[in-house]
Amino acid sequence: MCEARARSRTENCGRLLDMLGDGELRQVAVWKMEGYTNEEIAPKIGRCLKTVERKLRNIRRIWRGEVNQ
């Protein structure tokens, strides 16, 4: 039972990440899921903190649209 749940969660995460494409949004989402802070992500992508925050808002909007459908 736990294995089936884990597989389902993995598939759901993959589907949500696919919605973000292969670019920066996807990478930011992966790093957040791995536990990185916004402050740690900013230099990784060569952007300022506000840009990371904006990208995270965009990710949430994209995912909320999927959840609400």
Domains of the chain: 2-68 (1.10.10)
Q: What pTM was computed for the model?
A: 0.80
Confidence of residue 2 (pLDDT cuts 50, 70, 90): confident
Cα(25)–Cα(21) distance, integer angstroms: 8
| Sign for the pseudo-dihedral over CA of 11, 12, 13, 18 | positive
Cα(46)–Cα(39) distance, integer angstroms: 11
Confidence of residue 30 (pLDDT cuts 50, 70, 90): very high
**The pLDDT of residue 1:** 59
- What does pLDDT average to over the chain? 90
